[in-house]
Structure 1
Amino acid sequence: MQAKLAELHGRLSSGGSLDEQMDSAADLVAQLGFDALVYDYSPVPLDHLGELITPSVLKLRQTPGDWQDLWCTEGFYQIDPVQQLAVSSVAAFAWSYVPKGETVLQRLIDHRHAPVVGYLLDAQLACGVTVPLHLPRGGLATLTGLRSQASQRDLDDARANLAGFSLIAHALQEVAYPLLGKEAANRAIRLTPRELECLRWAAEGLTAAQIAERLNRSLATVSLHLTSAMHKLGAKNRVQAVARAVHYRLLDN
């Protein structure tokens, strides 16, 4: 296994960008019978209410042209049962949206998922495998391979290639991880640099008056920044605002 990982790492790391690495990964998974490839990454997968956050990075290969817009703008990502399962799973899994396809999805799918289920059935991409990649500091990436056929035979073949696909996923993540900081930002909450600075000092236990003195700003100005940050974070007070800023990793240096 180590030799195979080293081989995959060498092939994938030849790409200087995440897009080039995805091209190489798509070639590799095609050899396993997968027709399309989806990679997503978020430094924080869930909001403070436990709902999926639209990923900061979404890379697609051989998917329909409207996929990016549907998943990232129209809310399909939040109702994608594969993504809902991936956030709480540590093991790779095969899945199918065909009614008779007995996979882990069958116990999850209900009427809320109808737009995603219908779309993938129409696109003939209703069978595949997904590898959840739980990362340091709470980040989450997934690599999903999709097949253009969804018969029981195709599902069995996807399962048979799950181990090989998982190796590719982990090798891709290893080479992609250093590049993610350049492409990814937490888009769930956007605070101004001054709002972040005031929250960082608040996290250190300073009062608004002490922060104003530290920053050589008026108390009214600092209070305005803190209040604005509270509103953006949906917080009731400064303590809750700091807690939510920590959750979203907004105070990371």
Structure 2
Amino acid sequence: MEAWLEEQFCLLETKGSSEDFFAELSKITSALGFNFCAYGLRMPYPLSAPRTEMLNNYPTPWQQAYQEKNYLQIDPTVHHGLSSQLPIVWSDQVFARTPELMEDARSFGLEYGWAQSSRQANGTIGMLTLARSSEMLGPNELARYRYQLLWLTQVAHHGLASRICAEKFDMPELSLRELEMLKWTADGKTAEEIALILGITTRTVNFHISQAMRKLDVVNKTAATVKAALLGLI
């Protein structure tokens, strides 16, 4: 167990892109008996259609089918991961409402699977999914690898979320003053009230709020406050 954990710490120190990190992650999951590995990252914004990025070594035809049939929207393991950080094991019961999804997955060799999600303070949600073509995941195996899988979920999210965000998303950098204005705004204070509390002019308050709006690429201070909060900035 100690040697295995040391390997995970080495993985965290892996340099390079998200693809490089995922390749190393796949080797570790393969050693645990899973020939398929997937990681999905969901950003908290925009609320109407949160952005999602995925890395996996699934068969290309299955990746295409999953995307073309929009299975992401009905995948019960994804829905579970968005509301719970407890692991979930694939079963007919789990896919009872989406049998076509399970049938399609099995046709590409994805028979048995396990998934668990993890969250970061900035609002991102990541989910690690491991699958294989044969040998059902029994309670003894799950108990034996319980701590490894839990730790691996955290390692995957910590290592991949930061890389994907840096590669795919423009994370805004707000000044301390801009963040301060948004915090007071989130508490329901008007610009005049914030100015009085901080001993500055209303014009200064509005300037910092407008700067925050520009950096966050939103059209009003309400949207700026919501986005900053969802991204874990305030």
Q: With structure 2 as the length reference, what TM-score do the two structures score?
A: 0.66
Deviation at 1:248, TM superposition (A): 4.8
* C-alpha contact (below 8 Å) 2:122/2:230 kept by paired residues: no
User: Counterparts of 1:65 and 1:158 in 2: how far apart (Å)?
Assistant: 30
In the alignment, structure 1 residue 26 sits paired with structure 2 residue 26: yes
* C-alpha contact (below 8 Å) 2:39/2:54 kept by paired residues: yes
* C-alpha contact (below 8 Å) 2:110/2:132 kept by paired residues: yes
One of 90, 95, 101 as aligned partner of 1:95: 90
Equivalent pairs counted in the alignment come to 205
Q: What RMSD in Å do the two structures reach over aligned CA positions?
A: 4.1
One of 49, 70, 73 as aligned partner of 1:75: 70
Instruction: Report the equivalent of 1:60.
Output: 56
One of 104, 121, 136 as aligned partner of 1:154: 136
* C-alpha contact (below 8 Å) 1:18/1:179 kept by paired residues: yes
User: Counterparts of 2:24 and 2:73 in 1: how far apart (Å)?
Assistant: 28
Unpaired segments ≥5 residues, structure 2: 171-181, 193-202, 209-217
What one-letter code is carried by the residue in structure 1 that aligns with 2:162? P
In structure 2, the CA distance between the partners of 1:16 and 1:163, relative to structure 1 (3 Å rule), is same
* C-alpha contact (below 8 Å) 2:37/2:56 kept by paired residues: yes
Greater Cα shift, 132-141 or 159-168:
159-168
User: Counterparts of 2:15 and 2:100 in 1: how far apart (Å)?
Assistant: 35
User: Counterparts of 2:168 and 2:225 in 1: how far apart (Å)?
Assistant: 22
User: Counterparts of 2:50 and 2:69 in 1: how far apart (Å)?
Assistant: 13
One of 145, 169, 176 as aligned partner of 1:185: 169
User: Counterparts of 1:114 and 1:45 in 2: how far apart (Å)?
Assistant: 30
User: Counterparts of 1:125 and 1:53 in 2: how far apart (Å)?
Assistant: 27
* C-alpha contact (below 8 Å) 1:45/1:87 kept by paired residues: no
User: Counterparts of 1:126 and 1:34 in 2: how far apart (Å)?
Assistant: 11
SS in 2 for 1:90: coil
Deviation at 1:64, TM superposition (A): 3.2
User: Counterparts of 1:115 and 1:246 in 2: how far apart (Å)?
Assistant: 39
* C-alpha contact (below 8 Å) 2:126/2:161 kept by paired residues: no
* C-alpha contact (below 8 Å) 1:128/1:158 kept by paired residues: no
Instruction: Report the equivalent of 2:5.
Output: 5
User: Counterparts of 1:60 and 1:20 in 2: how far apart (Å)?
Assistant: 12
One of 71, 79, 88 as aligned partner of 1:84: 79
Instruction: Report the equivalent of 2:127.
Output: 142
Identical aligned pairs, as a percentage? 16
What one-letter code is carried by the residue in structure 2 that aligns with 1:128? G
User: Counterparts of 1:46 and 1:158 in 2: how far apart (Å)?
Assistant: 39
Deviation at 1:164, TM superposition (A): 2.4
User: Counterparts of 1:53 and 1:86 in 2: how far apart (Å)?
Assistant: 15
Q: With structure 1 as the length reference, what TM-score do the two structures score?
A: 0.62
SS in 2 for 1:137: coil
User: Counterparts of 1:135 and 1:2 in 2: how far apart (Å)?
Assistant: 26
User: Counterparts of 2:10 and 2:124 in 1: how far apart (Å)?
Assistant: 24
User: Counterparts of 1:13 and 1:62 in 2: how far apart (Å)?
Assistant: 25
